[in-house]
Structure 1
Amino acid sequence: MEVETNRFGYDLIRNDVLRDLLGKDHDTILYWIGKSLARKYPVPTVEEMITFFEEANWGTLARIKEKKQEQLFELTGEWMNKSDQRCYQLEAGFLAQQVETWNNCISGATYTEKNGLILIKIETDKKDTIK
């Protein structure tokens, strides 16, 4: 029961409090908070990022495609496809910043919901290096 209680509290803050507090800028701010968190909690490998997501209760992460300038991640969680209405900009921003740090090139992320899971696409501009 403790896990459910913790999830309930987390969901209240994530889905209700933050949305009310941030208003129309909610999604954009969460994306940039995700990037900021990635700078505070850098992870050097995909495997460690997967572990970070599990420990943060953000869900189960898997990289399902990797190309030269694009990576596709799949995020699943037991709460998905139910009454949960969260956006996943926090996770998208976090992933974008980690990939940006790994490649030393500007990276951005977008996500889509499909069949009860979240697909997060990270695009990296290899010509736009970080100085």
Structure 2
Amino acid sequence: MSKNTAAEIHQETQSEETVPAFGYELIREVLLHEILGDDTAEILYWAGKKLARKYPLNSLDEIIDFFNKAGWGILTISKESKNELELELTSPIITKRMQNRKTQQTHQFQLEAGFLAEQIEIQKQVISEAFEHPRKKSAKVLFTIKWDKKDIVS
């Protein structure tokens, strides 16, 4: 089985049809939690890493484009240093999710965090870890990706 690039998958599935936000949220915020239970966060983090390995990207710009095409939201760079990257994720769906009082305590962005950690690990060739920081008042998610240049991927 050959690996397709993210661009090839997007090209194959690109059409005028879209998935209603309700359907997307139903799967993401309800069904996955029912299936995965208490391990939801950990499993989604590792699933994000697996997605990144399946669709490796060559640059931060490609990661930003991937998030947009996948419908995950608008990803922007907040701050970058020699061993840390801060990114901000926004979208109308995230805003609605954050404002929904019924799910305010349950939404997670571990799939995206795992995806970011693995993409940075692949690009920089050092072990990377990502942390999510949902900001309910501003209806966005901040991600902190950290790495140690001495901790090289073998």
> Which band: TM-score by shorter chain?
over 0.9
Identity among equivalent pairs (%): 44
1:67 to 59, 71, 81: 81
Task: String of CA shifts for 1:55-89, please: whole Å, max 9, x gaps.
Answer: 11111101111100000000001122322652000
1:110 to 111, 114, 131: 131
TM-score (norm 1): 0.93
Q: Secondary structure at the match of 1:65?
A: strand
| Counterpart residue number, 2:147 | 124
Relative to structure 2, which stretch is displaced further, 111-120 or 89-98? 111-120
Give the counterpart letter for 1:31 in structure 2. Y
Alpha-carbon distance in structure 1 between the residues aligned to 2:32 and 2:49: 17
Q: Does 1:43 align with 2:57?
A: yes
Runs of at least 4 residues off by over 3 Å: none
Q: Does 1:31 align with 2:31?
A: no
Alpha-carbon distance in structure 2 between the residues aligned to 1:107 and 1:125: 8
| Counterpart residue number, 1:82 | 99
Alpha-carbon distance in structure 2 between the residues aligned to 1:22 and 1:104: 31
Alpha-carbon distance in structure 2 between the residues aligned to 1:61 and 1:87: 16
Runs (5+) with no aligned partner, structure 1: none
Aligned residues, how many? 129
User: In the TM superposition, what is the alpha-carbon distance from 1:50 to its structure 2 partner?
Assistant: 0.9
**Larger Rg: 1 or 2?**
2
Q: Secondary structure at the match of 2:51?
A: helix
TM-score (norm 2): 0.79
